[in-house]
Amino acid sequence: MASTKERQRKLARAKLDRQMARRAQQERRRRRILAAVGAGVALLLIVGGIAWMGGAFDTKKPAKTSDEAADQCAWTPQSAQTNTDLKDVGTPPTKGIPTSGNRPMVITMNQGTPIVVGLDLATAPCSVADLAYLAGKKFYDNTDCTEITTEGALRCGDPTGTGLGGPTYSLYNENVPTGKKPAYPKGTVALIGNPPGTNGSQFLIFFKDFSVVAPQYPIIGRVTSGMDTVARIGKIPTVDNGSGRKVKPKQKITIKTVTVGDVTAGAAPSASAQTG
């Protein structure tokens, strides 16, 4: 299986190839128009006719090529036979993915007010498409959050509760922060893969600032409402989860439902937009 960097290089190369093909097509069209104009001018001087102008300056855009309609997101298959904690719910669409604006994700828990997250389409369009697809499949409904991590985040999204669960596909990192302090401010929502870079359904909601030298969790949005619920959950005592890590909540933290709304215009929510 290709590494994350190899997949990213392939996607970047494919994008460059499409751009070059479009530029070549535009250059050929420009030359055809100039040739047509030259011929038309010569004809005008000879016969005084102007009928040649009927379509020489047609500004209608050319139809999209097959390259321009290429897949936007790459979903890497994962084997449910190799990892029996994976659940097959199909694969999200690869085309028609919005790349601007936001989508609200509402997480209703077994305690506190609902948590509302502004998902950022500009920086993580495929990650948002991933969550929206899984929410539509009710993948998250009636599942327990498995950890209150030592980094200060709530870890959710694994129906098996093992930390290894997810769908039978994975997604590369889109928006890992670089050069930011803290890398993950309070209220940040990020995907977490196992191993890193193979993201699926699991996500983190940070209830305090977290700084790290080498960030590895791609950010998908920020909490815009319900931080009081996140803060309350962050105070729940933890016990050993069986692997020597004291991260298992002593009481159940259950997601009742997750819904992802329609696209809304506007800039991505900032950390200062968080409310209680």
pLDDT at 134 over 70: yes
Q: How far apart are CA 16 and CA 70, in angstroms?
A: 12
pLDDT at 74 over 60: yes
Q: How far apart are CA 147 and CA 234, in angstroms?
A: 10
Q: How far apart are CA 217 and CA 237, in angstroms?
A: 24
Q: Say which residues have a Cβ less than 8 Å from residue 4's Cβ, sequence separation at least 6.
A: 172, 173, 197, 198
Percentage of the chain exceeding pLDDT 90 = 64
Assess whether 45 and 149 both reside in one domain: no
Assess whether 116 and 49 both reside in one domain: no
**Quick check: is 61 in a domain?**
no
pLDDT at 54: 45
pLDDT at 31: 56
Q: Can you read off the two tokens belonging to residue 89?
A: 């719910």
Q: How far apart are CA 73 and CA 59, in angstroms?
A: 31
Q: How far apart are CA 110 and CA 144, in angstroms?
A: 10
Assess whether 154 and 29 both reside in one domain: no
Amino acid at 233: I
Assess whether 18 and 82 both reside in one domain: no
Helix segments in 100-204, DSSP class H: 125-136
**Which of the four pLDDT bands, split at 50, 70 and 90, describes residue 255?**
very high
- Best CA proximity match to 221, nearest among 261, 179, 194: 261
pLDDT at 65 over 70: no
**Quick check: is 234 in a domain?**
yes
- Among 21-25, 98-102, 190-194, 271-275, name the one with the lowest average pLDDT: 271-275
**Which of the four pLDDT bands, split at 50, 70 and 90, describes residue 62?**
very low
Assess whether 243 and 133 both reside in one domain: yes
Assess whether 104 and 219 both reside in one domain: yes
Number of separate domains in the chain: 2
Assess whether 120 and 181 both reside in one domain: yes
Determine the average pLDDT of the residues in 168-182: 94
Distances (CA, A) of 193 to 21, 81, 155, 216: 35, 19, 11, 9
Q: How many helices (H) and strands (E) does the chain have?
A: 3, 15
pTM summary value: 0.73
**Which of the four pLDDT bands, split at 50, 70 and 90, describes residue 29?**
low
Segments of 97-210 assigned E as strands: 102-109, 115-120, 143-144, 147-148, 153-156, 166-167, 169-170, 188-191, 203-206
Assess whether 268 and 238 both reside in one domain: yes
pLDDT at 239: 95
Residue 28 structural domain: 4-54
pLDDT at 269 over 50: yes
pLDDT at 106 over 50: yes
**Quick check: is 62 in a domain?**
no
pLDDT at 46 over 50: no
Assess whether 103 and 139 both reside in one domain: yes
Whether the ω angle into residue 215 lies within 30 degrees of 0, i.e. cis, is no
Determine the average pLDDT of the residues in 243-267: 92
Assess whether 40 and 128 both reside in one domain: no
pLDDT at 68 over 60: no
- Best CA proximity match to 187, nearest among 249, 115, 121, 248: 115
**Quick check: is 179 in a domain?**
yes
Identify the CATH number of the domain in which residue 166 sits. 2.40.100.10
Amino acid at 191: L
**Which of the four pLDDT bands, split at 50, 70 and 90, describes residue 197?**
confident
